[in-house]
Structure 1
Amino acid sequence: MDYELIRKRIQAITTRINEIGGEVQEVVIDEPVSLEQIIKTEEQLGVTLPESFKKVLNEFSGNFSLRWFLPDNMEQPNEFREIFCGTPHWSLELLPQFEEDRIGWIENVFPNPKDDYDVVWHNKLAFCEVRNGDYLAFDMKNSGDAPIVYLSHDDGEGHGFKIANNFVEFIDNWSRLAFVGCEDWQWLSFTTSPESGIISDGVAANRFRTWLGLEI
């Protein structure tokens, strides 16, 4: 993966948000973490982290966060009216807390693996907490690497949608869409089905970049 390209995209995104009068609240790209730190976390969680996730943690950043917001008075095309921010983040250190929270949802709200809605919460590994209480998570049914899916706690339209086939694909596609907000209503415009994942070269994605004035 070309991490320098990802850094350039982040710079382009933050520059453009500032140019249009939006707000960039945070840009955090901490140092990569060691394999020893990753192994320690795996032992704490009792799972092996997906290969592409470990690769990014070890080669790019073990703690990443970007927070930007569009101007309140900005007029948006109808198809993008739900998009108002970008809030991507991941952290090796926070994984155990996210997993504890996910397990809590299973124990208290979604306990039945035979229920079509509940089962989506099972056999996952949460890595990104959405501000509305949902999560982005790895589907741990796959060995070696894992696709990324959306976990909604409140009948969200994107519940169970596959967002990407693996973490590297996820970052690549998401960054080309300015890391639009984690809430499903912000990225659903860039999917065509529950299995399509985020499509960064589709018609909607190209229209979005043109509207926002981003060449990434």
Structure 2
Amino acid sequence: MDEFTRNLIVRRWETMLEAVNRLGGRVDPLIVEPPATKADVESLERRLGTSLPAALRDVLLTFSRSVEFRWFLPDDYRLPAEFRHIFCGDCHWSIESIEMSNEGKEHWIKVVFPDPSDPYDAVWHDVLAVQDVGNGDYLAIEIRANEPNPVTYLSHDDGEGHGLKLGEDFKDFLLRWSRLGCVGAEDWQWLPFATADGSLDPNCDLATSYRALIGAQI
């Protein structure tokens, strides 16, 4: 990832946290650790038994090995009806947590979603989980083909966002999600910004309105 893109993403995160802080919400500090080493990445790949998607590998090696921050709107802050389910943002992924997320994902596959021929189950197969949403859902990268490797939402309970395409690859995902201040990560917080074809659009009219309401010029 080039320096301009790295700085752009971090600045968007910082701007969102500043906006939430002005509203009187809760902000957990932004932590962006240094990049991983090649040895770190190769060790993770050995433990996972698969190569990392190219964009994820590049982000870990040239941007950060671990990112973490959260924000919460004030309890008494009310957004318009179309945004009524939005209350927080949660971005946390690391070279360490990827392995744990995939262990959790594999458990769901074994117990609940074992059939790759079933359309719902199939979304859980041939993907690499990168973030545990915290409610049994995951953000994951498809590894069914070489490139691109789109980022997809995995819902464990028939969530409307199941299979939502969050980005063309992990870098594109970070660019899109950062434009929304990393809202979520539950699927129902993403849905106002989903297109009819099941993709995330941070440039849609609702996204523009949302940024204006929060006061985040990102």
Counterpart position of 2:133: 130
Task: Please tell me the residue identity of whatever aligns with 1:206.
Answer: T
Matched, 1:17 2:24: no
Kindly provide the CA deviation profile for residues 127-170 of structure 1, in whole angstroms up to 9, marking residues without a partner as x: 10012110000111121441011111001001112111111111
Scaled by the length of structure 2, the TM-score of the pair is 0.95
Which SS does the other structure have where 1:87 is aligned?
strand
Matches of 2:147 and 2:34, distance apart in 1: 24
Task: Kindly report which structure 2 residues correspond to 1:79-158, keeping only aligned pairs within 5 A, or say none.
Answer: 79-158=82-161
Kindly provide the CA deviation profile for residues 84-117 of structure 1, in whole angstroms up to 9, marking residues without a partner as x: 0000111111111111111111111111112111
Counterpart position of 2:213: 211
Matches of 2:119 and 2:176, distance apart in 1: 28
Structure 1 segments unaligned to the other structure (5+ residues): none
Scaled by the length of structure 1, the TM-score of the pair is 0.96
Q: Which moved more, 1:151-160 or 1:8-17?
A: 8-17
Q: How many residues align?
A: 215
Which SS does the other structure have where 1:198 is aligned?
coil
Kindly provide the CA deviation profile for residues 13-35 of structure 1, in whole angstroms up to 9, marking residues without a partner as x: 11111111000023211111011
CA contact (8 A) 1:160 1:194 kept: no
Matches of 1:108 and 1:32, distance apart in 2: 35
Structure 1 runs, 4 residues or longer, greater than 6 Å off:
none
Matches of 2:167 and 2:147, distance apart in 1: 15
- CA apart distance, 1:202: 1.1
Counterpart position of 2:183: 180
Q: Give the percent of matched residue pairs that are identical in Structure 1 and Structure 2.
A: 42
Task: Kindly report which structure 2 residues correspond to 1:163-202, keeping only aligned pairs within 5 A, or say none.
Answer: 163-195=166-198, 197-202=199-204
- CA apart distance, 1:215: 0.8
Matches of 1:151 and 1:194, distance apart in 2: 17
Counterpart position of 1:63: 66
Task: Give the alignment partner of residue 33 of structure 2, picking from 30, 35, 40.
Answer: 30
Matches of 2:84 and 2:176, distance apart in 1: 20
Matches of 1:56 and 1:119, distance apart in 2: 27
